[in-house]
Amino acid sequence: MSVGLYEPGRYAAIDIGTVTSRLFVADVDEAGAIENVARDIAITNLGTGVDASGRLAAESIERVGAKVDEFAATIAKLEEEGTPITTCAIATSAARDAANSDELVERLRQAGVELHIIPGEREAALSFSGATSAFPGEKAVVIDVGGGSTEIIAGMAGGALEHAHSFQIGCRRVTERFFTQDPPGAELVGKAAEWIADEMADYLGMLIDGGYMAGRVIAVAGTATSIVSMREEMEVYDSTRVHGAVVTRADLDALIAKLQDMPLADRQKIVGLNPQRAPVILAGIVILQQIMEVAGIDEFTVSESDILQGVVLATASR
């Protein structure tokens, strides 16, 4: 009798990003099928000021720590039902960049959570695994726009990565570096777009030459899902309408034209956008727009499966 690739059981993934902190609890079978059990997300803004100072602010660490306390309580409550849970917690760009990330590790240890600060290459691999889990055998490119970095990963879904790169370009980093007035206006947006395109041109050119951009292009994480939610004017977020939605270049152009001259106070009132994401959403959309521009693509598919699913599958691997 053959042995499956995964150890069946219940797993929890905690992802501490530059902008958000997220929990995902799921059951995994031996073939790697994932059944959702619980989710939680909060905008905790760990990366506020890191691009300029190189350090995590004490208040940012405590915001994340307080949310992880809640995550730990959720996991403990689920375990009271009788099913043990294996937990893996990761942190990405902001924690990688900060000189005092050990303070974050210690704060989460107080919550009973051991945090792993992973390199960009590992982040890319986990994002690719999670995002492509529904498209086995297809040539795919996954774009993961985070607060501090953007990962662009290419390969065969369900297989080994063939190319991966983590750019120090994220929606919070771009906002803090370029959008120095409110509203930013077309000139500052243009400067940000030019910088993004210049930084990514060589890598995206290589993917074009390899035929990867002609396959399925998948975008994950909060910028991509928020674009769909705003476009559809979702008063209540509906993941079934977001997962698998197609976003076009025209969608992004229209959003940028609308948002670049809109003050933050008005962006916070947009139907379908979490008000806490309003300060960084424009930068995230510009990053995706420039990837499409340089890569010469007209659309991408939005996936709600991302690094969280990748962490769960990696933890469950035999």
Domains of the chain, by residue range, sit at 9-120+308-316, 135-302
**pLDDT reported for residue 3:** 52
CATH code of the domain made up of 9-120+308-316: 3.30.420.40
In whole angstroms, give the CA distance from residue 109 to residue 186.
44
CB of 123 closer than 8 Å to CB of 204:
no
CB of 105 closer than 8 Å to CB of 62:
no
Both tokens of residue 141? 């490119």
User: In this structure, how many other beta carbons lie within 10 angstroms of the beta carbon of residue 199?
Assistant: 16
In whole angstroms, give the CA distance from residue 139 to residue 206.
15
**pLDDT reported for residue 52:** 82
CATH for 135-302 (3.20.20.70, 3.30.420.150, 3.90.1300.10, 3.30.2130.10): 3.30.420.150
| Helices 171-178, 278-295: crossing angle, 10 deg rounding | 100
In whole angstroms, give the CA distance from residue 171 to residue 175.
6
CB of 245 closer than 8 Å to CB of 302:
yes
Span 230-269, pLDDT tens digits: 999 999 999 889 989 999 999 999 999 999 999 999 999 9
Q: Digits of tens for pLDDT over the chain (318 positions)?
A: 345 688 999 999 999 988 889 999 999 999 888 899 999 999 998 988 887 888 999 999 999 999 999 999 999 999 999 999 999 999 987 888 889 999 999 999 999 999 999 988 888 888 888 888 777 788 899 999 998 889 999 998 867 788 999 899 999 999 999 999 999 999 999 999 999 999 999 999 999 999 888 888 999 989 999 999 999 999 999 988 998 999 999 999 999 999 999 999 999 999 999 999 999 999 999 999 999 999 999 999 999 888 899 899 999 987
**Does 135-302 match 9-120+308-316 at the fold level?**
yes
**pLDDT reported for residue 1:** 37
Categorise residue 50: left if φ over 0, alpha if ψ from -120 to 50, beta otherwise: alpha
- In the chain, the largest separation of any two C-alpha atoms, in whole Å, equals 64
Categorise residue 37: left if φ over 0, alpha if ψ from -120 to 50, beta otherwise: alpha
**pLDDT reported for residue 4:** 65
Residue 122 amino acid letter: R
Both tokens of residue 185? 């206006």
Residue linked to tokens 């609890």: 25
Span 83-119, pLDDT tens digits: 999 999 999 878 888 899 999 999 999 999 999 999 8
